[in-house]
Amino acid sequence: MCGRFVLTANPQNLQQEFDLSTPPVEVQPRYNIAPTQPVAVITNEAPHQLTYHRWGLIPSWAKDMSMAAKMINARSESAAEKPAFRAAFRRRRCIIPADGFYEWQEQGKDKTPMFIHMQDRKLFGLAGLWEIWQDPDGGELRTCTILTTDANPFMQQYHHRMPVVLHKEDYPLWLSPKEEPLPVLQGLMKPYDEDAFSAYAVSKAVNRPANDSPELLQPFNQQRLL
């Protein structure tokens, strides 16, 4: 799954990596992005612009916001058929930029937070879906979810699932405004290359969503966890 992630890249790197029309100057470094918070997304509605959506998808037909907290992830294997995700999978896809995410490694009764990142520390794009929900007063709320897939061999030591990380050459297809054939889209829903990742332990301070500072990314001596 993917329950916390990081985006610290500067606006120029974001523009270059995702072919944005202008640098998104409103972006601020985030070290502990958590569910229900605003997250930076690039939608197939505006594939050269970075906007913000609330993390936790609310289907357009939902009566209230209560299901959002349970919709931070969507299984890519079934998203095209599930009522909550199928319309978005066909017509409302997005990329969620990140330069790392957290996963918790079980060690007996303890869980150690691990920071997962590309070995070259480059930005990457997570495959996501987005929706527009109208509240009872007529207000509009844009929300999103992150797609997951089976963990690659590297990630299996931490969790049996991982976010769908897209290859850069597949960004245009995923952000196509058209209803692309489902088999073509589903072909992108696969584990990313296992040798691309690296990981290290970080402080349990990341467990609290209120903590959001560069210190969270400092390597943490695992002996101090005992």
| Model confidence at 107: pLDDT above 90 | no
* Residue 226 reports pLDDT greater than 80: no
Dihedral angle at the C-alpha atoms of 158, 86, 20, 101, nearest 10 degrees? Answer: -10
How does DSSP assign 44-73, residue by residue? TTSTT--EEEEES---TT-SSSTTGGG-SE
The sign of the dihedral angle between the CA atoms of 186, 192, 194, 199 is negative
Set 17, 103, 131, 144: catalytic member: 103
Q: What is the pLDDT of residues 5-29, one digit of tens each?
A: 999 999 999 999 999 999 999 999 9
* Average confidence score pLDDT of the chain: 93
Sign of CA dihedral 69, 74, 78, 79: positive
The angle subtended at Cα 184 by Cα 180 and Cα 187, nearest 5°, is: 145
Taking residues 36-43, what's their average pLDDT?
Answer: 97
Q: Can you give the pLDDT at residue 136? A: 80
Q: In this prediction, what percent of the chain has a pLDDT beyond 70? A: 98
At 179-211, the pLDDT tens digits run 999 999 999 999 999 999 999 999 999 999 999
Q: Is the pLDDT of residue 221 over 80?
A: no
pLDDT score at 196: 96
Residue 64 has pLDDT above 90, yes or no: no
The three-state secondary structure class of 37 is coil
pLDDT at residue 217 above 90? yes
What is the second-level CATH architecture of the domain 5-23+34-99+120-198? Alpha-Beta Complex (3.90)
223 band by pLDDT with thresholds 50, 70 and 90: very low
- Residue 85 binned pLDDT confidence (cut-offs 50, 70, 90): very high
- The answer to whether 36 touches 70, Cβ cutoff 8 Å, is no
What are 95's strand-pairing partners?
42, 127
Query: Is the pLDDT assigned to residue 224 strictly greater than 70?
Result: no
Q: From the centroid of its chain, how far is CA 20?
A: 18
Residue 68: pLDDT band with limits 50, 70, 90: confident
Active-site annotation holder among 2, 17, 94, 131: 2
Annotated catalytic residue 94? no
Mean pLDDT of the 72-98 span: 96
pLDDT(1) > 80? no
For residue 54, what pLDDT is reported? 97
- Each residue of 135-178: pLDDT tens digit? 887 789 999 999 999 999 999 999 999 999 999 999 999 999 99
Active-site residue flag, 194: no
Coil, helix or strand at residue 32: strand
Report d(CA 32, CA 102) in Å as an integer: 9
Mean predicted confidence (pLDDT) in 116-140: 93
